[in-house]
Amino acid sequence: MNFSFTSLGCASALPTVNRFPSAHVLKVRERLFLIDCGEGCQMQLRRYGFSFLKIREIFISHTHGDHIFGIYGLLSTMSMIGRSSDLFIYAPSTFGEILSSLLKHFGGGFNFKVVHIVVKGDEPEKIIDSKSLEVLSFPLKHRGECYGYLFREKMPLKNVFKELVAKNDLTLFEIARLKEGLDVVRESGEVLKNSEFTYLPYLPRSFAYCSDTAPFETLSSYIEGVSLLYHETTFASDLGKLAAQTMHSTASDAAICAKNSNAGKLLIGHFSTRYHDLSIFLNEAREIFSDCEIAEAGKEFIVPLIKP
User: What's the pLDDT tens digit per position in 120-163?
Assistant: 999 999 999 999 999 999 999 999 999 999 999 999 888 888 89
To the nearest 10°, report the CA torsion of 275, 303, 134, 81.
70
User: What's the pLDDT tens digit per position in 265-305?
Assistant: 999 999 999 999 999 999 999 999 999 999 999 999 999 99
pLDDT of 17 strictly over 90: no
What local confidence, expressed as pLDDT, does residue 189 receive? Answer: 86
User: What's the pLDDT tens digit per position in 248-258?
Assistant: 999 999 999 99
What local confidence, expressed as pLDDT, does residue 244 receive? Answer: 96
- What fold is seen in the domain 3-156+202-301? Metallo-beta-lactamase; Chain A (3.60.15)
Higher local confidence (pLDDT), 171 or 259: 259
66 is catalytic: yes
- Catalytic residue, from 66, 129, 253, 277: name it: 66
Higher local confidence (pLDDT), 19 or 26: 26
User: What's the pLDDT tens digit per position in 31-49?
Assistant: 999 999 999 999 999 999 9
Q: What are phi and psi of 4, to 5 degrees?
A: -150, 160
pLDDT-derived band at 7 (thresholds 50, 70, 90) equals very high
Domain boundaries, the chain: 3-156+202-301, 159-198
Could you tell me the pTM of the whole model? 0.93
pLDDT of 15 strictly over 80: no
pLDDT-derived band at 97 (thresholds 50, 70, 90) equals very high
The string of DSSP letters for 200-251 reads ---PPPEEEEE-S----TTHHHHTTT-SEEEEE--B-GGGHHHHHHHT--BH
